[in-house]
Structure formats: C-alpha cells, structure tokens
C-alpha cells in the first residue's frame, strides 16, 4: 500500500446542516477521493447525501453506519460519507479512529 493510500480516510463524517458554500467546499475537497456511497441514519438527510454521492444508503443507527463504512473501505478501498452531527467534516481511519488534520 502506498503512502497516499494510507493517508486517505476510510470514511468521513459530514455535518447534517450545511449551507450551500459549505456543500461546495465538501464537494471540492472530496473530488480527489473516490466516494462509494453516502450513509444516512435519518431520511431527512437524503437530499444532502445525494449532493455528495450517487449512492445513498440508510443505516439503522450511527454505530451501524460506522461499521458499514469500515467494511466498505476494507472490501473496496473506497471511502464512504456518513451524514451525522459534526462541525463540518471529520475523517476516520479503517479502525474508526478520527484522523487529525495537522494543517
């Protein structure tokens, strides 16, 4: 596995309530990362998820969403987005640990 592959988060938690400039920022930031799906736990988040991924799945809980995202990354090597409560966007590794942005 190359250094680039190890530095890409397995999945991202994206904030539920984003304004249009924030959505554009997220779309631009994730342009270089293959996103296989967006996972929601609340049907009301479907519209936002569809703006960030062509595939939208619903999980029964946030814990299930984390587990699904980890499994998808392990099987495909592609990142997943989870729509949930957070500041803007947070990255997580394949073990579910938050990535720290040192920039």
The stretch 38-61 carries a mean pLDDT of: 96
pTM of the model: 0.85
Q: Give every CB contact of residue 59 below 8 A, 6+ residues apart in sequence.
A: 39, 40, 41, 65, 68
37 phi and psi, to 5 degrees? -170, 165
| The CATH fold of domain 3-92 | Rossmann fold (3.40.50)
**Contact by Cβ (8 Å): 9, 73:** no
Q: Does 8 have pLDDT greater than 90? A: no
Give domain limits for the chain: 3-92
**Contact by Cβ (8 Å): 80, 98:** no
pLDDT score, position 101? 52
Q: Give every CB contact of residue 34 below 8 A, 6+ residues apart in sequence.
A: 78, 79
Mean residue pLDDT of the chain comes to 88
């Amino acid at each position: 596995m190359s250094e680039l592959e190890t530095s890409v988060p397995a999945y991202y938690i994206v904030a539920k309530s984003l304004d249009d400039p924030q959505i554009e920022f997220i779309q631009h930031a994730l342009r270089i990362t293959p996103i296989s799906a967006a996972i929601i736990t609340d049907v009301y988040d479907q519209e936002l998820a569809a703006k960030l991924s062509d595939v939208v799945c619903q999980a029964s809980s946030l814990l299930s969403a984390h587990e699904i995202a980890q499994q998808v990354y392990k099987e495909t090597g592609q990142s997943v987005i989870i729509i949930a409560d957070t500041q803007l966007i947070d990255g997580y590794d394949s073990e579910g640990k938050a990535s720290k942005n040192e920039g």
